[in-house]
Each structure stands twice: as C-alpha cells, then as structure tokens.
Amino acid sequence: MRYRILGGTGIEVSVHCLGTMMFGAVGNADHDDCARIVHAALDRGINFVDTADMYSAGESEEILGKALKGRRDDVVLATKVHFRMGEGPNRSGNSRRWILREVEESLRRLRTDWIDLYQIHRPDRSTDIEETLSVLSDLVRQGKIRAFGCSSFPAEEIVEAHHVAERRGLQRFRTEQPPYSLLARGVEADVLPVCGRYGMGVLTWSPLASGFLSGAYRRGRPVDLSTGRPALTPARFDPALPENAAKFDALEKLVALAEDLGCSLPALAVAFAAAHPAVTSVITGPRTIGHLEELLKGAPLTLDDATLDRIDEIVPPGTNLYPPDGAWRPPSLADAALRRRPLTERAAG
C-alpha cells in the first residue's frame, strides 16, 4: 500500500481509505465481523479510516472504537459532524453549540482522546462559516482534533472558507471529501482544481457510484428494484428509463475496458479515482471481508495514459452521468423560491 501526505499536514495516509458507512444497522450489524474487516484492512497496510457520527446513528463509531483497541496509534482516524442526531432543535448543523457537544460524543463512541481529521459533513446555510472555523480552530488548540476538513462543499464555499480563515486569523480546511467516480466527474471542473490551489488533501467517496460500478448491473439484465441501493433510488438503476440510457452505454464500455485490462470493474473504478493528481486517498466502504479483499486486489493496478484517454472518450472530463446519492445540492437549485421572483414581479412590463 502506498502512502501520500494529507493536505500539507505532514500526516501520511494510505491511498485506500477504509470507509465504514456500512458498519452497523444500515449494512453489517455484526460488530465482530466489522472488527475483522478493520483488522484485515490494517494488516494489509491501510492506515486511514473514515466514519461519521450519523452512520447508523453512531453505531459505526462505536464499532470502530472497539475494533481499534490496542491499535489506535497506528490509525489516522477521521469522522464527520453535521447531520441530525436525535429529535429536537440544535442537534445538527455546523454551529459552535452543536459541534462542541457532538465532538465529545464522537470521542466517547470512538474510545479515543483525539480525532485526526474532523470533517464538516455538509455546508450549513444557517451558520456563518466564521462560526464553524472558529470552533474547529479551538478544538485543534485543545488537542481534541489534529486537523479539520469539509465534505461535499462546492468550490465557491471552499474558497470563501479560506478567505474567511485568512481574514480572521483562523485555521483553515485542510481537506475536502467529494464524490468522485468514473460516472461522476463533475468535481474535476472546479472542486479538485480549487483543492489543488489551496494545497488541500482530497479523500473521495463513492468510487463505485453507489454500487452502479460494482459489476452487478448490466444492460439486458433485470434489476431487482426492491432491495439494496436500487430500492432507495430506483429511478437511477432502472434500465427501462430513457434517462438511464447514457449510464448503461458508458457502463458497457467500461466493462469492456476492464476486461481488456484483465481487472474487475471495481478495481478500475478505484484506480481511476486514485490516478487524479489532486486525490490523496480513495474511500471504499466494504460490507464484508470478501468485498474488502476484492477491492485490495486492485491496489497495484496502474492506469496508463492510453487507458485514461479511453476513459475520457467514454465519459468526458467534468461530466456527471450519475450524480451521486446524498451529495449536497446548492439551495439555489434545491429551493425553487430562490430561483423565482414573486409572481407579481415577474413580468418585464
């Protein structure tokens, strides 16, 4: 396993990062089995592990806390904060009040005294970015976190955060965690170049496009829309829908490319993400030991320029054929009221 420096922090992390979203009730509820996955990853040279407070409502962090007993010093541990954790107000978001409370809960669940990388899981339009950077800077000074970053932030909000940090004398985001895959290349147009300009580390998520690039889905094969990821977003997987034609066209060409290279489609997908110069580490989220082993088989795969050129022909750079599930959408797109004047003001004359 190769290692790269994480965003100028001097911290070395493995190019494969073990993601734990599938640990707990939403994926693998067997804590002992999840611990075996963690130990197998560490034994194979992975030293970077990513989780979040909201994964299975904290259960993922609890599993990691138990699994890392006796091995904590060998691991660069990352977690995230933002999404709702319980009923009532002030139990989510990026406010000082919530972050100060929730970091203590994550430390407790993870059974550790410090978090190596604490990430803001999504932007929060209700909280001034200075408020968020201020509390994160305080947590670094207190030794509770070593560095902090953001996840799924658009390029303009990353730039704003850096400007605010410089003006106010605050510490800055050291990393960004964007969705990036063979079918979701939109971040190549803005987020990845911005991260490169600011010297930020990049750990990408969903390299298999929420399972679409797992190899299980092919044109002409029936798709069971009642289970797994297709049950959550059936419109994204249904081959009968005209809007999915381009995705399945690209998928067939990528399968053929993987066969020419003598590798699996998932191995090709992870190697593609790791080949971008802005990317530090690629998060993979296995649910079983078998999934982990299959992904690790592709670790030595090197994609030459000719192969990357073929990928560019299949899915042009900066193109999103499969917008990632769960990615943040700007309010200007998600909220129609922000794109429409009041009815009485719309006419030009």
Answer for the pair 139, 104: CB distance below 8 angstroms, yes or no. Answer: no
Residues 6+ apart with CB under 8 A from 33: 288, 289
What are φ and ψ of residue 124, in 5° steps? Answer: -135, 105
pTM: 0.94
Quote the DSSP letter at residue 51: -
Share of the chain above pLDDT 70, in %: 100
- What does the pLDDT look like over 202-252, one tens digit per residue? 999 999 998 889 888 887 777 787 777 777 778 888 888 888 889 999 999
- Close Cβ partners of 306 (under 8 Å, ≥ 6 residues apart): none
Q: Exposed e or buried b for every residue in 27-66, given b needs 16+ CB within 10 A?
A: bbeeeeebbebbebbbeeebbbbbbbbbbbbbbbbbbbbe
Strand partners, 28: 23
Is 124:160 a contact under the CB 8 Å cutoff?
no
Closest among 126, 134, 65 to 100, alpha carbons compared: 134
Q: Which of 55, 118, 180, 322 is catalytic?
A: 55
Q: 101-148 pLDDT, tens per residue?
A: 999 999 999 999 999 999 999 999 999 999 999 999 999 999 999 999
55 belongs to the catalytic site: yes
pLDDT value at residue 106: 98
What are the φ and ψ backbone dihedral angles of 54, each rounded to 5 degrees?
-85, -5
Q: What's the length of the chain?
A: 349
**Bridge partners for 77 per DSSP:** 49
Q: Is 345 helix (H, G, I), strand (E, B) or coil?
A: helix
Q: What is the pLDDT of residue 230?
A: 77
